[in-house]
Amino acid sequence: MAKQKFATLEELLDPNNFNFETVAVIDDKGNVVNPDLMPDLSDEELVEFMEKMVFYREWNERMRAFSRQGRLGFVAPTAGQEASQLGTVAATTADDVLFPGYRDIPQLMEHGLPRDKAFLWSKGHVDGSTYPEDFHAYVPQIIIGAQYIQAAGAALGIKKSGREAIAMTWTGDGGSSQGDVYEGVNFAGAYQAPAVFVIQNNGWAISTPRDLQTAAPTLAQKAVAAGVPGIQVDGMDILAVYAVTKAAREYAIAGNGPVLIETLCYRYDPHSLSGDDPKRYQPEGAQDHWRALDPLERYRIFLNEKGLWSEEKEEAVVEQAKEEAREAIKKAESALTQKVSDFLRNMYETPDYITQEQIEEYEAKENK
């Protein structure tokens, strides 16, 4: 059988490339299908990818458990999107500035966010949104797509400062229907600002299927109108996601402008744990196809073939995730309880006189 021909990264990063084939390195059976795109990684680095995916799959389970116990607030599950999330952030450096959406907590944690702050953010505690000045990331954006505007502005600031860095941001397929997303991509393209925009296409924007959001065959091709490269990648293949994102970052910091990446992936859990039930709107058996493409399973096969993985290693990572989650939730729950006066004080840098009166009124009651 003739070998399938894949486009090179140089071809994919051409703004005039209109062939939006799905980039892959390994298939669902763990077989290498595009050796030319295989990232140059050591065995230790290959294993580290698996460790991270296993860790965050279990971390997702810990968050579900804490949510059921009433110990967390808003939780957006991540199971199924590990390759997309971790493959993109793995291509960044500590100097890059991250603009996550509310499902992108793993990327923040990989960038250096303390575990307990991830839980404090979920609980709505102000300390969960308080970052050190040298931590180059913003808090998860709740407004759908707004992070794209912020990333575009930050990317332009990076360019003007002469730093060798990028701004990276994520949204979902639902977010790609927001005007802010196109405006951010267009602005960064017009000014050749170093940004990498990621659309994690998991097929559903809560209950709205992707085919009701747009008539475009791919979301990657939405980059065409902004004059920037758009690449669609198998978001269940961490090696492909990493290879494409790494190339996109290099393209951006070389002064060529931004890149839009669409990762085809799937979330196995509800949109959030706040009452969403996919069984009410997804057809029966909808997950079967995607369960067979599980990013952990295909990568597990890939590593097993190389003799680099074992059940013992996986069990150790799972236990590590459980222990770190226990420690983090305990620390988060020891944070000082917020007061009404604190909420009011945090509303404005300089409170107006009415708010100041309310602060003083509540402080008087709280200090009794």
Predicted local distance difference test score (pLDDT) of residue 305: 96
Alpha carbons within 13 angstroms on the beta-carbon side of residue 90 total 23
CA-closest candidate to residue 158, choices 167, 171, 170, 169? 167
Which ranges constitute the DSSP H helices of 204-339?
238-251, 288-291, 295-305, 311-333
Q: Which amino acids are annotated catalytic?
A: 267, 271, 281
Paired tokens of 67: 């949510």
Predicted local distance difference test score (pLDDT) of residue 274: 85
Q: What are the domain boundaries of the chain?
A: 9-337, 339-368
β-strands 208-209, 230-234: how paired? Answer: unpaired
Long-range own/partner contacts, residues 250-253 (CB < 8 A, 24 or more apart):
251/13, 252/155, 252/166, 252/194, 252/195, 252/196, 253/164, 253/165, 253/166, 253/194
CB 152 within 8 A of CB 188: yes
CATH no. for 9-337:
3.40.50.970
pLDDT digits (tens, 9 = 90+) for 137-149: 999 999 999 999 9
Predicted local distance difference test score (pLDDT) of residue 286: 81
Mean pLDDT for the stretch of residues 151-157 = 98
CA distance 223 to 354: 46
Higher-confidence residue of 17 and 86: namely 86
Instruction: Classify 349 as helix, strand or coil.
Output: coil
Confidence of residue 363 (pLDDT cuts 50, 70, 90): very high
E strand or H helix that includes residue 363: helix 353-366
Confidence of residue 5 (pLDDT cuts 50, 70, 90): low
CA distance 186 to 180: 10
Predicted local distance difference test score (pLDDT) of residue 1: 36
Q: What is the 3-state secondary structure (H, E, C) of 49-115?
A: HHHHHHHHHHHHHHHHHHHHCCCCCCCCCCCCCHHHHHHHHCCCCCCCEEECECCCHHHHHHHCCCH
Strand partners, 21: none
Mean pLDDT for the stretch of residues 235-252 = 98
CA-closest candidate to residue 259, choices 230, 298, 222, 236? 230
The total number of residues shown for the chain amounts to 368
- Which stretch of 20-24, 30-34, 276-280 has the lowest confidence by average pLDDT? 276-280
CA-closest candidate to residue 338, choices 76, 73, 151? 73
Instruction: Classify 209 as helix, strand or coil.
Output: strand
φ and ψ at residue 89, rounded to 5 degrees:
-70, -25
Higher-confidence residue of 208 and 243: namely 243
* Residue owning tokens 């730093």: 163
Q: What is the mean pLDDT of the chain?
A: 95
CA distance 174 to 210: 7
DSSP 8-state code for residue 354: H
pTM: 0.95
